[in-house]
Chain A
Amino acid sequence: MSTAGTPKIEIRDLHKSFGRNRVLQGVNLTIMPGESVVIIGGSGSGKSVLLKCILGLIHPEQGSIKIDGEEITNLRGSELEAVRRKIGMLFQSAALFDSLNVWENIAFALIQGQGMAREEAQRTAMARLGDVGLRQEVATLYPAELSGGMRKRVGLARAIASQPEIIFFDEPTTGLDPIMGSVIDNLIVKCVKELGATALSITHDMASAKRISSRIAMVFEGKIIWDGSTDEIDQTDNAYVQQFINGRADGPIQMQIQDHFEGHPG
Chain B
Amino acid sequence: MLSLIQALGRTFLNFLGATGRIALFTAVSLSHCVRPPFYFRLIGRQMVEIGYYSLPVVGLTAIFTGMVLALQSYTGFARFSAESAIPNVVVVSITRELGPVLGGLMVAGRIGAAMAAEIGTMRVTEQIDALTTLATNPFKYLIAPRLIAGLTMLPLLTLVAISIGVFGGYLVSIYKLGFNPTTYITNTIDFLQVQDVLSGLVKAAVFGFIITLMGCYHGYHSRGGAQGVGAATTNAVVSASILILCSNYFITEIFFSR
Q: How far is the CA of A98 from the CA of B137 in the complex (A)?
A: 18
Residues of B within 8 A of A91 (CB): 126, 129-130
Q: Which residues of A contact B121 (CB under 8 A)?
A: 98
On chain A, the residues within 8 Å of B129 by CB distance are 52, 55, 57, 91, 95
Which of A87, A89, A97 meets B127, CB within 8 Å? A97
Residues of B within 8 A of A55 (CB): 129, 132-133
**Cα distance, A85 to B134, chains bound together (Å):** 7
Q: CB-CB < 8 A to B131: which residues of A?
A: 97
The size class of the interface chain A forms with chain B is 20 to 34
User: In the bound complex, what is the Cα–Cα distance between A56 and B121 (angstroms)?
Assistant: 21
> Does residue B5 face the partner (Cβ distance < 8 Å to A)?
no
Quick check: is A93 within 8 A (CB to CB) of the other chain?
Answer: yes
Q: Check: A109 CB closer than 8 A to any chain B CB.
A: yes
Asked if A81 is an interface residue, CB under 8 A from chain B, the answer is yes
- Closest chain-A Cβ to B254's Cβ sits at a distance in Å of 36
Query: Which residues of the other chain, A, contact B126 by a CB distance below 8 angstroms?
Result: 91-93, 95
Chain A interface, >50% SS class: mixed
B166 to chain A, nearest CB (A): 37
Does B72 sit within 8 A of A, measured CB to CB? no
Asked if B246 lies at the interface with its beta carbon under 8 angstroms from chain A, I say no
In this complex, the member of A52, A92, A95, A97 whose beta carbon has the largest number of chain B beta carbons within 10 angstroms is A95
Say whether A3 faces chain B, with CB atoms less than 8 Å apart: no
The residue on A at minimum CB distance from B133 is A89
Question: For window 54-80 of chain A, which residues contact chain B by CB distance below 8 Å?
Answer: 55-57
Contact of A81 among B130, B137, B141 (CB under 8 A): B137
A48 → B minimal CB distance (Å): 10
- Distance in Å: Cβ of A110 to nearest Cβ of chain B: 10
Query: Whose C-beta in chain A lies nearest to the C-beta of B124?
Result: A93
**Chain A residues near B127 (CB-CB < 8 A):** 95-98
- Bound Cα distance A81, B136 (Å): 8
**B134–A112 CB distance below 8 A:** yes
Assuming the A-B contacts A81-B137, A112-B141, are A57 and B132 also in contact, with contact meaning beta carbons closer than 8 angstroms in the complex?
yes
Q: Is the CB of B130 within 8 A of A113?
A: no
Chain A residue contacts of B2, Cβ below 8 A: none
- Which residue of chain A lies nearest to B134 when distances are taken between CB atoms in the complex? A109
Shortest Cβ gap from B134 to chain A (Å)? 5
Give the complex CA separation of A87 and B134 in angstroms: 8
B133 and A113 contact, CB distance less than 8 A? no
Q: List 6 A-B contacts (CB under 8 A).
A: A57-B132, A81-B137, A82-B135, A84-B133, A88-B133, A95-B125
Across the A-B interface, the 7 shortest Cβ-Cβ residue pairs: A95-B130, A95-B126, A81-B135, A89-B133, A84-B135, A109-B134, A113-B135
Residues of B within 8 A of A (CB): 121-122, 125-127, 129-137, 141
Instruction: Report A's interface with B, CB cutoff 8 A.
Output: 52, 55-57, 81-82, 84-85, 87-89, 91-93, 95-98, 108-109, 112-113, 158
